[in-house]
Chains A and B, each alone.
Chain A
Amino acid sequence: MASEVLLPTSPDQAIAAFGDGAGVTVVGGGTILMPAITYGRLQPEKRLLLLDRSGLSGVTRGDGAVRIGAATPVSELEAGDEPLASVARTVADPEIRGQATVGGNVCATASAGVPRGDLQAPLLALGARVRSAGPQGQPSEPLEDFLASNRAGRLLLEIVYDDVERRAGHASVHRPHAHHYSILSTCATRSGGETRVAVAGAGPVAVRATSVEQALAAGEPAEIAAHKVLDDVDPSDDALASAWYRKRVLPTIVARALARLEKEDA
């Protein structure tokens, strides 16, 4: 295996080492990539490791914003804001959460057709923006744009959302297992009168359920609005569940998340 392992000790070093990303495999904690290497499915040309030492780890609150470094372990979110904290707690188990990073999770692509990246949905619901390094410098953009874009050549640096009062609710369906594989997950938040709804597991990346949001904004009751989610998603069959099952179940869990949003103490 001809791999060079790079361990940057500052964000600038990380960005410089990443360059334009050609031939570089970015590793957060390694929980996703190491099995691929062990099983011989991935033989990276050059490797870049992001560690706490890269200075890209940590959750800070200030200037009205919550900033999460890309190399922050998932476990550091467990005591934070909802719905991020609750979803973080369902990722694998404590040992893996202590090693896996937020960036690695958010950037995770599907495996054998099964969508990954449980943290995408709560971050979308929180209105998160991401800052990444690439050919255009270090632009900041809404998470949904980042997820939809061609991310080759982009190094995720941090995720930011507004530090405001908000209500949150979430609901999900899992395959029972030591690791609780999530089949579908919905996160909803409301702050300043605006409701945001995000759905994961019904497509290659999590998406904003804009049809549901618009219906709610137009005064539709939650049960009716929840059904509009089928306009926002196009699920596939995969090893976890069929597209049919996902379409049947999704409106119910969207309604559930919205109900929990209402019940939650502000």
Chain B
Amino acid sequence: MKAVGARLPRYDGIQHVTGRTVYVDDVRVPGMLWAKALRSPVPRAEVKRLDVTKARSLPGVHAIVTHEDVPLNVYGHLEALGVPADEPLLAADDVRWKGQAIAVVAAEDEATAREAVEAIDLDLEEGEPLLDVRKAFDPDAPQIHHWGNWYPHFEDGMDRRQIRKGDVASAFDRADVVVKGVYRPAAIEHVPLETQISLSVPEAGGRITIYSCTQAMYFSMGVVAAHLQVPLNRLKFVGGTVGGGFGGKVDTASETVTALLALKSRRPVKWRWTREEEFLASSTRAPWHMEIADAVTSDGWILGRKTLTLHDSGAYARFSPYGLTKHAFHHLGAYTIPDVHFDGYVVFTNRVPTTAMRGFGVTSVSFAVETHMNRIAEVLGIDPFELRLKNGNRIGDTTANGVVLHDPSTVAVAQALAKASGIELADDLGAMTNAPRSGALLPEHLAAQQVVNGKEH
């Protein structure tokens, strides 16, 4: 293993520092057209009229695509994983978020494409948008998704991610204090320096070469093939050079559209999103609403936790059911809590559909859990390190999902954090390890969840 510990040059380093890295925007093909999109100006509306005739006849306009041009308009990114399809490539009967693409124009230059977009006849009848996940459950909330206001297609027809472990009601009865918190991290934009972009080049034989900024080439290939209803061998993807993705370039945002425009116009078509378009229309990390209630003892044991999570999926499901699943798995943080009640919902709002971003689904709950631990420590008047070290995972502890831990690192990491922060831990805390719980570290309420040597306690 010569690479481990060695200082290796980046394989793309020389290209980057000499300006020779070829991003999609740097590819030059003759006859290339520029694309611009007509996007919904409002968060929710019915499309009463969409007429591209006048726009199409402008000189320099080569093609316009709408939902009618898409062989399979509604295709789910995660259909292969059991998440049914809900999102149209191009809006048909209604628009559900401000910025949703309705039609896309390919023209000789950007200015002409923009002019054509403005010449498209669009009549919208606005509806009352739902913008607050908490209101989604009100009986008189606007119903904004054909599945209802929250995702109903988890396994066994469940409309939420649910975890039940132990007896949380009993934990709350036994508690000395109940500590509650509500945590609402906001949406975060990826802001890659390279905006969304693709360039599709039609070949005489019917194949299309698609230069893409996607983070997930094979995935995007499958998505495009599905929308176009063509076999995979009709597509040649060129990519792997991404000007920043961070999770935001997995949604295959532009490739199918440029492919359709290339097929229709028989010319190469590039769609480079403007920075404003990137902020408006590219997916974000989701906003979350998390309510945590912990049953705790005065000496700092967390007996049980009740959690309600509302994940703001935006207008469509995309990857949200997957993100919520990961979130559910991690909702106890690095700590062992035996009695657990978790409900998580993927809630629809009339906002841009949300997506993955570094640590998808988990950063939200980590933030909430760690803040909550500090809150507990403050309420109880105990050292926040002590609280974490006592409740921290040990060998033989089980997670909320019943996974037995073999080598958890909570104790070591907490100790390292204290050291790096110049905080001197008390001797007993500094001496802790992740060895299976025993003695004072194995109070009665943690006995049943412990599995050591394959045997339950």
Do A and B have CB atoms closer than 8 angstroms in the complex? yes
**Across the interface, do B276 and A40 meet the contact criterion of CB distance under 8 Å?**
no
**Across the interface, do B111 and A1 meet the contact criterion of CB distance under 8 Å?**
yes
- What chain A residues lie within 8 Å of B111 (beta carbons)? 1, 40
Q: In the bound complex, what is the Cα–Cα distance between A39 and B280 (angstroms)?
A: 15
Interface of A is mostly: loop
For chain A, residues 1 to 32, give those with C-beta under 8 angstroms from any C-beta of chain B: 1
Question: Of all chain A residues, which has the CB nearest B36?
Answer: A40
Question: Of all chain B residues, which has the CB nearest A37?
Answer: B111
Whether B53 sits at the interface, judged by CB under 8 Å, is no
Question: Of all chain A residues, which has the CB nearest B111?
Answer: A40
Q: In the bound complex, what is the Cα–Cα distance between A39 and B111 (angstroms)?
A: 9
Whether B274 sits at the interface, judged by CB under 8 Å, is yes
Whether B341 sits at the interface, judged by CB under 8 Å, is no
Whether B180 sits at the interface, judged by CB under 8 Å, is no
For chain B, residues 8 to 59, give those with C-beta under 8 angstroms from any C-beta of chain A: none
For chain B, residues 85 to 129, give those with C-beta under 8 angstroms from any C-beta of chain A: 110-111, 114
Q: In the bound complex, what is the Cα–Cα distance between A39 and B110 (angstroms)?
A: 9
Q: In the bound complex, what is the Cα–Cα distance between A224 and B251 (angstroms)?
A: 56
Q: Which residues of B contact A (CB under 8 A)?
A: 110-111, 114, 274, 276
Q: A260 to chain B: closest CB distance in Å?
A: 35
Q: Which residues of A contact B (CB under 8 A)?
A: 1, 39-40
Q: A213 to chain B: closest CB distance in Å?
A: 41
- 6 A-B residue pairings within 8 Å (CB atoms): A1-B111, A39-B274, A39-B276, A40-B110, A40-B111, A40-B114
- What chain B residues lie within 8 Å of A39 (beta carbons)? 274, 276
- What chain B residues lie within 8 Å of A40 (beta carbons)? 110-111, 114
Question: Of all chain B residues, which has the CB nearest A40?
Answer: B114
Q: B308 to chain A: closest CB distance in Å?
A: 30
Q: In the bound complex, what is the Cα–Cα distance between A1 and B114 (angstroms)?
A: 13
Q: In the bound complex, what is the Cα–Cα distance between A40 and B34 (angstroms)?
A: 14
Q: A67 to chain B: closest CB distance in Å?
A: 38
Q: B245 to chain A: closest CB distance in Å?
A: 21
- What chain A residues lie within 8 Å of B110 (beta carbons)? 40
Q: In the bound complex, what is the Cα–Cα distance between A1 and B112 (angstroms)?
A: 11
Q: In the bound complex, what is the Cα–Cα distance between A40 and B274 (angstroms)?
A: 12
Q: A111 to chain B: closest CB distance in Å?
A: 13
- What chain B residues lie within 8 Å of A1 (beta carbons)? 111
Q: In the bound complex, what is the Cα–Cα distance between A40 and B113 (angstroms)?
A: 11
Q: B191 to chain A: closest CB distance in Å?
A: 11
- What chain A residues lie within 8 Å of B274 (beta carbons)? 39
Q: In the bound complex, what is the Cα–Cα distance between A39 and B114 (angstroms)?
A: 9
Q: In the bound complex, what is the Cα–Cα distance between A8 and B276 (angstroms)?
A: 34
Q: A176 to chain B: closest CB distance in Å?
A: 15
Q: A93 to chain B: closest CB distance in Å?
A: 16
Question: Of all chain A residues, which has the CB nearest B117?
Answer: A40
Q: B258 to chain A: closest CB distance in Å?
A: 20
Q: A43 to chain B: closest CB distance in Å?
A: 9
Q: In the bound complex, what is the Cα–Cα distance between A153 and B264 (angstroms)?
A: 49
Q: B12 to chain A: closest CB distance in Å?
A: 25
Q: B200 to chain A: closest CB distance in Å?
A: 23
Q: In the bound complex, what is the Cα–Cα distance between A1 and B276 (angstroms)?
A: 22
Q: In the bound complex, what is the Cα–Cα distance between A40 and B107 (angstroms)?
A: 15
Q: Which 6 A-B pairs have the closest CB atoms?
A: A40-B114, A40-B111, A39-B274, A39-B276, A1-B111, A40-B110
Q: In the bound complex, what is the Cα–Cα distance between A122 and B147 (angstroms)?
A: 58
Q: A171 to chain B: closest CB distance in Å?
A: 29
Question: Of all chain A residues, which has the CB nearest B115?
Answer: A40
Q: In the bound complex, what is the Cα–Cα distance between A83 and B114 (angstroms)?
A: 43
Q: B189 to chain A: closest CB distance in Å?
A: 13
Q: In the bound complex, what is the Cα–Cα distance between A133 and B29 (angstroms)?
A: 50
Question: Of all chain A residues, which has the CB nearest B274?
Answer: A39
Q: A169 to chain B: closest CB distance in Å?
A: 36
Q: B59 to chain A: closest CB distance in Å?
A: 15
Question: Of all chain B residues, which has the CB nearest A43?
Answer: B111
Q: In the bound complex, what is the Cα–Cα distance between A30 and B164 (angstroms)?
A: 62
Question: Of all chain B residues, which has the CB nearest A41?
Answer: B114
Q: In the bound complex, what is the Cα–Cα distance between A40 and B111 (angstroms)?
A: 7
Q: In the bound complex, what is the Cα–Cα distance between A1 and B274 (angstroms)?
A: 20
Q: In the bound complex, what is the Cα–Cα distance between A81 and B276 (angstroms)?
A: 37
Q: B114 to chain A: closest CB distance in Å?
A: 5
Question: Of all chain B residues, which has the CB nearest A1?
Answer: B111
Q: A220 to chain B: closest CB distance in Å?
A: 42
Q: In the bound complex, what is the Cα–Cα distance between A40 and B117 (angstroms)?
A: 12
Q: In the bound complex, what is the Cα–Cα distance between A40 and B276 (angstroms)?
A: 13
Q: In the bound complex, what is the Cα–Cα distance between A177 and B147 (angstroms)?
A: 40
Q: B119 to chain A: closest CB distance in Å?
A: 13
- What chain A residues lie within 8 Å of B276 (beta carbons)? 39
Q: B380 to chain A: closest CB distance in Å?
A: 35
- What chain A residues lie within 8 Å of B114 (beta carbons)? 40
Q: In the bound complex, what is the Cα–Cα distance between A1 and B109 (angstroms)?
A: 12
Question: Of all chain A residues, which has the CB nearest B114?
Answer: A40
Q: A164 to chain B: closest CB distance in Å?
A: 45
Q: B301 to chain A: closest CB distance in Å?
A: 41
Question: Of all chain A residues, which has the CB nearest B113?
Answer: A40
Q: In the bound complex, what is the Cα–Cα distance between A40 and B114 (angstroms)?
A: 8
Q: A181 to chain B: closest CB distance in Å?
A: 15
